[in-house]
Amino acid sequence: MAFGLLLLRSAPMVLSAAAVQFDYSQYLFLRPFLDLTADLEQKNGVAPPESRSQVNTVLGHFIHRQFPAGLSAILTLYPLTWVVAGANLALGHPASRLAALLGLDDDGGLGIAPAARHLYIAGLVCSVGHMLFGPRALDLMQTIGALGGKAGKDTGTPEKKHDNLHLLQTWLQLHLTRTFLADVPGWLCFTGAFLLSVARSG
């Protein structure tokens, strides 16, 4: 298998693995906020309402600063995954002549095995499926960042009955759901497709 073709075949797997790692990093760094209230109460003797208010404020400012960069990464990572997955499907089609023109054809034909093709399609569907959770997840994050230090107070908005910690807990549940329903299956599908493609060329 030509090196360029090897990169193309592996790109969806690598990018989807990066997405899963990003999912884990988000959970790893945001989940501890839910435990900070108890830590403040136990170690510093802070009253429950005051400790929750402090954590809400810090969380709001953290999300306000951090989320735009995270969103930029998502809007780069996923569309790029779709492009390279689509390229694999297009170049792997038996009728394709584009691969030969690009110098990627090293054996006179780039048609991928049906099983690998199905896995590339399934991985692509899973990756796109991540975005189905996007509007709700985005709304929660923007609300947390916008409320900031006003969280938990009567702001005159629908969020006045909630606080940032409540919103974060809701977001984390949504985040875990999409991770295990979309991102992990997508990565597994792309990995299987790559392995089948390499085995076929070998």
Amino acid at 140: L
Q: Find the Cα–Cα–Cα–Cα dihedral 36, 38, 43, 48, rounded to 10°.
A: 110
pLDDT digits (tens, 9 = 90+) for 5-20: 889 999 999 999 999 9
Q: Is the dihedral of CA 64, 30, 40, 37 positive or negative?
A: positive
Hey, what are 191's tokens?
């990995």
Give the three-class secondary structure for 110: coil
Hey, what are 1's tokens?
């298998």
pTM: 0.82
Question: 152: closest CA among 50, 64, 39, 62?
Answer: 50
Amino acid at 202: G
Q: Render 114-147 in DSSP notation, one character per residue.
A: HHHHHHHHHHHHHHHHGGGGHHHHHHHHHHHHHH
- The predicted structure's pLDDT at residue 200: 72
Confidence grade of residue 202 (pLDDT, cut at 50, 70, 90): low
| Phi and psi torsions of 152, nearest 5° | 90, -10
